[in-house]
Structure 1
């Protein structure tokens, strides 16, 4: 196996890295809030942790939208992975992006069906995506919960793959998403 070396391939740009790590922070917040907030019942009001879940979700929608736009307009330099790893990476990233879009969107639809207004930063109201009392909106709430677990599993797979690249393959894949910290110790010793 090759030793870790300074990559000659560029990593993701600063905007992509910032959006990635902001997404990580917001998703971590959503999972912590989601696990600790009370169950949503028919007469539940959007206060306390539920209000926080809605607010973080509203922010996440904007961040994911920006992230998708940035990804479509700023493709990273392809990595030189073997075909199996390259395909697995593309499929995993596609599934991650799909669930990152769907989970908050379904939550928004469900909130609308409950008559709750989703607001960005507590100020800017989002339009309702379903009518109050909508059976469709309530079903989307159930799907929101299921897909949140799918997202959690995909994140686990993504983290495991990053650690596999770092600890087993000892390549530079993980470093592509980390801030650039200058030459590695290995390359400094080789000078």
Structure 2
């Protein structure tokens, strides 16, 4: 490994890294399922891909709840970015976390308004967040759709700079969130 990529600061802990990559997996699943599932209409039933989307969304709600609590109680090592980049990074992270909480929450509200039960892992039912037939719940479905595109934009504003750090600045910003490789015998 070249000197440019050596870790200068501690990596995020294993829990933070696991929650991060689990979130990535769940959001990717939601995108693929959402893109391929049939359109939802008044009489649509939550079966097949729609059921998978509800389950992945319920899991994302649980993961993000744990992730927010973990982040609030386990602060990462401060970054060593220039002040302006540090502010932009923090704002982007706050907006990203906000969208990662709001988008599935709004989907849950919309599902409740359709009379669908949202279940964690297909077993544990979540409470209804709106009455079946609720106009508010249906409107939140529209907001959910719009905020999904905002979320994808924020993900881009997160990924592109991470790749810029890795390949242009050649610092360790991206490596802090990657699984840590065990040192080889030559490195010990």
Contact 1:113/1:137 (8 A) holds in 2? yes
Deviations 1:49-105 (A, max 9, x none): 100000000011000000000000000000111011101110110010000000000
Shift of 1:7: 2.0
The gaps in structure 1 that reach 5 residues or longer are none
| SS, match of residue 8 in structure 2 | coil
Structure 1 residue aligned with 2:68: 68
Structure 1 residue aligned with 2:14: 14
Shift of 1:157: 1.5
Structure 1 residue aligned with 2:125: 125
Shift of 1:183: 5.9
Contact 1:120/1:126 (8 A) holds in 2? yes
Partner Cα separation in structure 2 for residue 153 and residue 88 of structure 1: 15
Deviations 1:5-28 (A, max 9, x none): 412310100000000000000000
Structure 1 residue aligned with 2:98: 98
Runs of at least 4 residues off by over 2 Å = none
Structure 1 residue aligned with 2:78: 78
Partner Cα separation in structure 2 for residue 182 and residue 76 of structure 1: 21
Contact 1:6/1:183 (8 A) holds in 2? no
| SS, match of residue 100 in structure 2 | helix
Partner Cα separation in structure 2 for residue 125 and residue 179 of structure 1: 33
TM-score by length of 1: 0.93
CA-based RMSD of the aligned residues comes to 2.0
Paired residues, what number? Answer: 187
Contact 1:99/1:151 (8 A) holds in 2? yes
Structure 2 residue aligned with 1:146: 146
Partner Cα separation in structure 2 for residue 174 and residue 182 of structure 1: 17
Partner Cα separation in structure 2 for residue 90 and residue 8 of structure 1: 20
The gaps in structure 2 that reach 5 residues or longer are none
Deviations 1:93-134 (A, max 9, x none): 001000000000000000000000000111111000000000
Structure 1 residue aligned with 2:4: 4
Partner Cα separation in structure 1 for residue 37 and residue 21 of structure 2: 24
Deviations 1:134-187 (A, max 9, x none): 000000000001101111111111110100101111111001101122569xxx
Does 1:87 pair with 2:87?
A: yes
